[in-house]
Amino acid sequence: MRCQRCGKPISPLRQLTDREFCCEEHRRRGPLASASALREPDYDITGVYLESEARREQRSSMVSGTALGVILLIGGGLLLAARYWMPESAEPVASRQLISPVEDLGARTPVAVNRFAEWLERRLPGESPVRVKWAVRSGLSEWTDSLGGKAWDTSGGRLSPGALRLWRPTLDRVNYDLSFTGVIRKKALSYAYRATDQSYYATKLKITRPGEISGASIARMVVSGGKVIDETELPLPVMLSTGRSYRIHVSAAGDTFATYIDGHLVDEWRDERLKKGGVGFFSDPGEAASVADIEFRESKGLFSRIFATFFYLPSGMMI
In terms of CATH, what superfamily is 115-304? Exo-inulinase; domain 1 (2.60.120.560)
Q: Is the distance from CB of 309 to CB of 75 less than 8 angstroms?
A: yes
d(CA 204, CA 281) in angstroms, rounded, equals 10
d(CA 140, CA 43) in angstroms, rounded, equals 76
Q: Is the distance from CB of 259 to CB of 202 less than 8 angstroms?
A: no
Q: What is the pLDDT along the chain (319 residues), one digit of tens a residue?
A: 788 888 888 888 888 888 888 888 888 888 864 444 444 444 444 444 455 555 555 655 565 566 666 776 776 666 666 555 444 443 433 334 444 434 444 455 565 555 655 665 555 555 678 999 999 988 999 999 987 788 999 988 889 999 999 999 999 999 999 999 999 999 999 999 999 988 999 999 999 888 777 789 999 999 999 899 999 999 998 889 999 999 999 999 999 999 999 999 999 999 999 999 999 999 999 999 999 999 999 987 655 555 555 544 444 444 4
**Cβ neighbour number for residue 318 with a 10 Å cutoff:** 13
d(CA 242, CA 287) in angstroms, rounded, equals 12
DSSP 3-state of 113: strand
d(CA 233, CA 221) in angstroms, rounded, equals 9
**Residue 85, CA distances (Å) to 79, 80, 82 in order:** 10, 7, 6
d(CA 26, CA 3) in angstroms, rounded, equals 8
Q: Which helix (H) or strand (E) holds 52?
A: none
d(CA 269, CA 82) in angstroms, rounded, equals 29
Q: Which residues, listed in sequence order, are joined to residue 49 by a DSSP beta bridge?
A: 43
pLDDT of residue 211: 72
* Range list of H helices, the chain: 12-15, 24-29, 35-39, 53-80, 115-123, 302-310
pLDDT of residue 38: 45
pLDDT of residue 80: 61
d(CA 161, CA 167) in angstroms, rounded, equals 12
Amino acid letter for position 277:
G
For residue 168, what is the DSSP state?
G
d(CA 189, CA 207) in angstroms, rounded, equals 9
Q: From edge to edge, which strands make up the β-sheet containing 199-207?
A: 165-166, 278-282, 188-196, 199-207, 216-224, 227-235
Q: Is the distance from CB of 157 to CB of 166 less than 8 angstroms?
A: no
Q: Which residues, listed in sequence order, are joined to residue 274 by a DSSP beta bridge?
A: none
Q: Is the distance from CB of 67 to CB of 205 less than 8 angstroms?
A: no
What pTM does this model have? 0.61
pLDDT of residue 128: 77
| Structural domain boundaries in the chain | 1-50, 115-304
